[in-house]
Amino acid sequence: MSNEKTNPNVLSNLSQVENKRIQKYQPKLEGYGGRQVVFSFPDHPNIVGKVEMKPLLQAVEVAVTGGDEAELRAQFESDKRDREQQLAVLQNYFGSEHVLKQTFSVIKIPVNADILASVQKIIGDGSERVSQLQSFEGEYVWSSISFQEKADVVHNPSKITLTAGLAELRPVVTPMYQSAYDRVTRASLYNLNEQGTVQVADLEKIHPFLSKLLESIKNDEELRTVVAEFVTRAIKYTNETGTIVDIIGQDNVVFFRDESNAWDYKLIDALYDQPISAVSNSITRIAEQEQVTLSLAEDASLRNTLNSIRVINALANILNISARITALPTALSTIEPATLMTAIITSAY
């Protein structure tokens, strides 16, 4: 389907950056995306490097405490192999033409006080760890990194992003909002055998980032077909691998018109680093206890998983696709949606 071609020089540059010392390429902090630190390389303008925040902090912590750096590097190398396997699986399910080219490596990453402060703020680490990491005086730490082609499709004027966002994290939850949340959650996460109808207005209310996509597929049959193909593949991928497609962040998955003006899609940052089974304990606790406070990591994992699955299943409903993601723990259906929302909000703040 895709007519988008990969410049062979870009792929060559990916290997060059991976295999040589990172300092030579004078990495420049580009910004922060989701839970990643993003670097650009002046000599390789078509490549970005993305470093996960959690392992980066882990590396700084080892440097500060005099921990075993060799053991940490071995762990990162193991994680690298896992990510390579996950990427291969993603390409197998969606087609390599739909997945952004990237490679993984373990190299030295430049770190300074500003980067650490921003990462700690985003992740929300406790004050004790923040105080400890503030004593870091180095310039580089070993960490895992992914090198990606810059995704030109995000600048395509036809681009429509598939972004779930986080339905639970709203400044004000009105009765109308809660009702919409309850209906969509029951139809998309709970009553999968009953195939209850998802109302587009309800879905737009709790997942407003979907508005452009939902409006577009009403009148564009070609786009509707391409979105349906993606949703069908996402359901199969999640049910068979036990891992979600990450559609939480902006531009993780985008639809766009290619060079022939046909609709296509690209998974830019869709790999998720935890299986659905990781939220089982959190769901069981919410089901069995009146009041639950999840850790920040548990809360983030739960809300990312539920919002991604809710949106994929809701789109399947709207597109008249019979399949659903069914990999969630059965205990979820015993929890009132309002109780679920309260547990997530309480833990997040």
Same domain membership, residue 266 and residue 314: yes
Note whether 299 and 225 are same-domain residues.
yes
| Residue-number span of the structural domain to which 138 is assigned | 8-150
Residue where a domain terminates, one of 113, 131, 150 = 150
Q: Measure the CA–CA gap between 96 and 94, rounded to whole angstroms.
A: 7
| Domain stop point among 150, 169, 193 | 150
- Do 89 and 180 lie in one domain? The reply is no
Where among 150, 165, 180 does a domain terminate? Answer: 150
Q: Is residue 3 part of a domain?
A: no
Same domain, 111 and 175: no
**Same domain assignment for residues 106 and 193:** no
Any domain includes 2? no
| 282 in the same domain as 176 | yes
| Residue 19 pLDDT | 46
| 24 and 60, same domain (yes or no) | yes
Judgement on whether residues 308 and 295 belong to the same structural domain of the protein: yes
Tell me if 324 is assigned to some domain: yes
The tally of domains found in the chain comes to 2
Q: Is residue 231 part of a domain?
A: yes
| Residue 249 included in any domain | yes
Predicted local distance difference test score (pLDDT) of residue 123: 67
Q: Report DSSP letters for 217-284, one per residue.
A: HHH-HHHHHHHHHHHHHHHHHHHHHS-----SSTTSEEEEE-TTS-EEEEESS---SS-GGGGHHHHH
Asked whether residue 22 is domain-assigned, the answer is yes
Residues 173, 193 within the same domain: yes
Q: Where are the alpha helices (DSSP H) in 95-220?
A: 113-123, 127-133, 175-185, 200-206, 211-219
Burial 111-147 (b: 16+ CB within 10 A, else e): beeebbeebbeebebeeeebeebeebeeeebbbbbbb
Rg of the chain on CA atoms, in Å: 21
Q: Does residue 82 form part of some domain?
A: yes
Can you give the pLDDT at residue 127?
45
Do 22 and 161 sit in the same domain of this protein? Answer: no
Kind of pairing, strands 140-149 and 102-110?
antiparallel
Q: Taking a C-beta distance cutoff of 8 angstroms, is the pair 326, 239 a contact? A: yes
Beta bridge partners of 320: none
Same domain? For 160 and 23 the reply is no
Please give the pLDDT value at position 290: 78
C-beta pairs of 207-212 under 8 Å, 24+ apart in sequence: 207/164, 207/165, 207/167, 207/307, 207/310, 207/311, 207/314, 208/165, 209/161, 209/163, 209/164, 209/165, 209/250, 210/162, 210/163, 210/164, 210/311, 212/160, 212/161
Dist CA 207 CA 21 (whole Å): 43
Residue 214 is assigned to a structural domain of this protein: yes
pTM of the model: 0.86
pLDDT of residue 8: 47
256, 279: one domain:
yes
265 near 171, Cβ under 8 Å? no
Q: For position 54, what pLDDT does the model report?
A: 83
The pLDDT tens digits along the chain (349 residues) read 444 444 545 544 554 554 454 555 567 888 887 778 898 888 888 888 898 888 888 888 888 888 898 999 999 999 999 999 999 999 999 999 999 999 998 888 888 878 887 877 776 654 445 556 666 767 788 888 899 888 888 889 999 999 999 999 887 889 999 999 999 999 999 876 665 789 999 999 999 999 999 999 999 999 999 999 999 999 999 999 999 999 998 899 999 999 999 999 999 999 998 899 999 999 999 999 878 889 888 898 999 999 999 999 999 999 999 999 999 998 999 999 999 999 998 876 6
